[in-house]
Amino acid sequence: MDALLTVKIRSMEKKDVDSVIEIEQLAYGNHHWSKDSFMGELSNELARYYSVLNEKDELIAYCGCWHILEEAHITNIAVNPKYRRKHIGELLLKTIIDDCYKDMVKFITLEVRVGNIPAINLYEKYGFKSLGTRKGYYQDNNEDALIMWTENIFYDKFKLEYEKNIRDFSGKIAYVREIS
């Protein structure tokens, strides 16, 4: 059995952006956000961006979202391909949801490629439902995006399922959270 991966998750810092761009290129090819876009996001009061670092303090994943009144919009979740299928994406999604609870954000939305079945499965596991598509949303191949939403995360139905998922998640990855 593989050793338990240990990571640190913290708020993204400007010094992370070059590594974020490297993961962007691995994850999205030539159609990715620019360095200037991420630098702008780090000064955006509505934005929350997080970095995941391995034991060597190398950035291996990141995510971002905007909190706008009672709604959060997940802008991106990306994991270095060498670290996929190790529950890091789930850790990032959990972090976003936990921060939505902390900030009293009721609804969470995102777009995901219709062909990204692992991501869709993760989002569905955490209570996201597809409420439509954006035709030709992705510029690199004109792929459609599913528009996914949660119901109110403060409703008992969502909270009970979330708590079950967190119990199941426990022990799959070791992490230290350094987010205020």
Active-site positions read 111, 123
Where in the chain does DSSP place strands (E)? 6-11, 47-53, 59-68, 71-79, 107-113, 129-134, 145-149, 174-178
Cβ atoms within 10 Å, residue 51: 24
Give every CB contact of residue 10 below 8 A, 6+ residues apart in sequence.
50, 51, 53, 177, 178, 179
Q: Which of 78, 69, 66 is nearest to 104 (CA)?
A: 69
Residue type, 174: A
- What are 74's strand-pairing partners? 65
